[in-house]
Structure 1
């Protein structure tokens, strides 16, 4: 009996080994393995190579698991059934004792294999997949080489069936932005990634979908100089509206001449020189971009043109706003760099929100935890959403209901939606029976 029990223990250990080899390889993260490989662990490099072509590896694992399971059943019945039958023979008839002994032997061997050869090894492999994968890769490589002819036959048959079913024969190891966002969210829930850091990661990927209009300074807020403005007017305007860059136009904002840096103006002030915008070299050529560009595309143009300021025009060549490199970076950094006074959407104590009309619609969705809004892609701001829903220019007290939220226009300034109140719509009371 002792020799049989030792043989069963050996079979359980072998089955546990194959379970670890199977689960660890499947659960191992390529980024973690690459990090281990870069640190000099050659076994991690071997695991990465096997993940690229896992066919023979998994074939050998299945050969081992099924062979051990069959041997366990054969040996277990012969090893334990007689002993259980002998013990039960004192209580019941010999025929019944034999039957019950076989049942107890089967249940005991099956339980041992389920717990010790399957559940425990796989749980360990899921908790530390990379560590377990590099631990078993050496013996598994040897077994793969030993059973390579048999594994080749099974692999060919398996791949043939997969192709017949029209399924992919190779593992897709590409990483998408959705995978990265999912990892960031998981890290946030685990307490590893802070809320603000997760927001930055999400904002980076939104650069490819958000247009420049969602981050620009709108036309009516642009402070500009006319090319013929005198020294006194320029000085007063700088004092009233300090900025790092000023647009320079002929007589109106749509006749763009260029832009001027505030530092160049300050240098003239410090040297007690008069400020004349027609002076040579003072006004610089401005970058002009269309309003349908994404933030990612305008960032690329900033890099290519070595500029950090651009004028945004629509299809009719009318100026709709200006954007700076700082505007793009503020969009990425979000609440890390935005002060409370600059927040475009603010949560009130009663749970409602007060939002500026130019609040990017992605910020509104994030605040309200809305996955989708109607007519997506036709607008970039909260004001645009209201215009599309109302099919006209919004007026004070106009309301839009969507997904349990009420969007109410509370302030309009020259056809511009200034403030919007967003509040939960109370559920309708149930009609009383009777």
Structure 2
């Protein structure tokens, strides 16, 4: 190195100060990029609702990630290239031709440590705090560089189009629902989120993707009242039933003419009998249709989310499900939909119901064929597909492409299924175990 003191003049110190300033700017851009892309929009929204202007600004500039990333990368590359050029000129002046290699080595080390690793490490560990802090400045940078970024964006999309890659500017890389579901599954696998909490939130998110057909009570299991039955039989049936609302049919079960509420029925019968000191003979002319409400029919393709909103809007808890031909398929209640979120809701009438999943001595699980795949997945934390069938029996029949006989064994989707019991063409019990 030349010992000439003229080399350490004002230009030397000005260049050195400029390089250090550019390194600081490079670290700012690198840290800002990491903070704004790694921060949770949900947390930023919570901070913005509490009055944080920085968080609100961060939400605004992250709405268009492509423009944000383009602006930050443009600023970062400008300062990095300028810093490298000044360092090369400075080191060449001090050390001659060998200064080029020395400048490359020194600047690589400085940029790596102080302009990349250090700011990004801080930003990723304090993402929301850092994003709120840098958002106002980055907002100005995005506005200043927006014309250049827009031109670069058009150029990039044109080049990608040549290779058959189409970019939708309005599409989200990751849907909010998928992001929440993924975070819940990850949290559960790491032991942070309890299984019950995960199931409740996922159940609420799935309401828009599931239809009433999947959870309805099938028509073969619906308890109905014959409108032409004598009042004594109707009263006895209602007293013995564990249901509050019962459909009323006339002629044939498909012909639903009303829905009666047990309380309305008892009140009307009590009044017609003449009160506590009346006569039961007066009930002979009782007409149940006078106290029955009009039946409420819904298509089997209605989503659970829409149906729940309709129940709340109509102040109703009970609906009959029909297919495209108007034929009765089943019934659904508001409680059925709520159970998809919170799990089974047991009352004094449900506690004696049989358990639908029982572990056998050989390590298999005895499952009722009518149990839905979703309920089994939820109970056992399995992942059997429910795209082609709603029940376990339906899944076996779909995969086997036949109605199996007792004793037949099938293996698919990583599970072993054995038919244990069958009634007619209906599979009633199976043994299931993971392979």
> For residues 116 and 349 of structure 1, do their structure 2 counterparts lie closer, same or farther at Cα, with a shift above 3 Å needed?
farther
Cα shift readout 1:268-302 (whole Å, capped 9, x = no counterpart): 46954756761563222212334444434543543
Q: CA deviation at 1:117?
A: 0.7
Q: For the residues of structure 1 that align with 2:170 and 2:289, how far apart are their CA atoms?
A: 63
Q: What is aligned with 1:27?
A: 38
Change (3 A) 1:383 1:62: closer
**Corresponding position of 1:412:** 422
**Segment drifting more, 10-19 vs 294-303:** 294-303
Q: Does 1:156 align with 2:166?
A: no
Q: CA deviation at 1:103?
A: 5.4
CA separation of 1:169 and 1:224: change in aligned 2, threshold 3 A: closer
Q: Distance in 1 between matches of 2:210 and 2:69?
A: 45
Unaligned runs of 5+ in 1: 86-94, 426-434
2-structure distance, mates of 1:53, 1:206: 28
Distance 1:153 1:303, change over 3 A: closer
- Tell me, in whole angstroms, the C-alpha distance in 1 between the residues paired with 2:244 and 2:210: 25
Paired position in structure 2 for 1:333: 342
Give the 3 Å change call, closer, same or farther, for CA 413–251 of structure 1 in structure 2: farther
Equivalent-residue separation in structure 2 for 1:153 and 1:310 (angstroms)? 59
Q: 1:395 to 1:199 in 2, by over 3 A?
A: same
The alpha-carbon deviation at position 316 of structure 1 amounts to 6.1
What is the Cα deviation at residue 16 of structure 1?
0.6
Name the CA shift for 1:135/1:420 in 2 (closer, same or farther; >3 Å): same
Find the counterpart in structure 1 of residue 311 from structure 2.
302
Task: Give the stretch that moved more between structures: 208-217 or 262-271.
Answer: 262-271
Is the contact made by 2:84 and 2:103 (CA closer than 8 Å) also made in structure 1?
no
TM-score normalised to structure 1 length: 0.76
Kindly state the Cα deviation for residue 422 of structure 1 after the two structures are TM-superposed. 0.8
Per-residue CA deviations over 1:97-156 (Å, capped at 9, x if unaligned) read x96x875664343222101110121222223333212212333445566xx3x7634542
Relative to structure 1, is the Cα distance of residues 291 and 140 closer, same or farther in structure 2, using a 3 angstrom cutoff? closer
The whole-number CA distance in structure 1 between the counterparts of 2:117 and 2:19 is: 17
CA–CA distance in structure 2, aligned partners of residues 419 and 269 of structure 1: 44
SS of 1:165 mapped into structure 2: helix
CA 1:53–1:188 in 2, change beyond 3 Å: closer, same or farther?
same
Provide the residue aligned with 1:45 in structure 2: 56
- Going from structure 1 to structure 2, the CA distance change for 1:24 and 1:237 (only over 3 Å counts) comes to same
1:18 has 2:29 as partner:
yes
| Structure 1 residue 368: Cα displacement | 6.7
Could you tell me which of 61, 65, 68 is aligned with 2:79? Answer: 68
Describe how 1:170-189 pairs up with structure 2 within 5 A. 170=169, 172-173=171-172, 175-189=175-189
- Contact 2:185–2:198 (CA<8 Å) still a contact in 1? yes
RMSD: 3.9
Q: Matches of 1:25 and 1:220 in 2, distance apart? A: 56
- Secondary structure, counterpart of 1:383 in structure 2: helix
Measure how far apart 1:163 and its partner are. Answer: 3.7
In the alignment, is the contact (CA less than 8 A) between 1:405 and 1:424 conserved in 2?
yes
Q: Cα 1:399–1:118, aligned 2, differ >3 Å: closer, same or farther?
A: same
Describe the shift of the 1:407–1:144 C-alpha distance in structure 2 as closer, same or farther (beyond 3 A).
closer
Q: Secondary structure at the match of 2:27?
A: helix
Deviations 1:180-239 (A, max 9, x none): 322333444465543222212322343344343432223333222222333443344344
Structure 2: state its 5+ residue gaps: 1-7
Q: Which moved more, 1:55-64 or 1:213-222?
A: 55-64
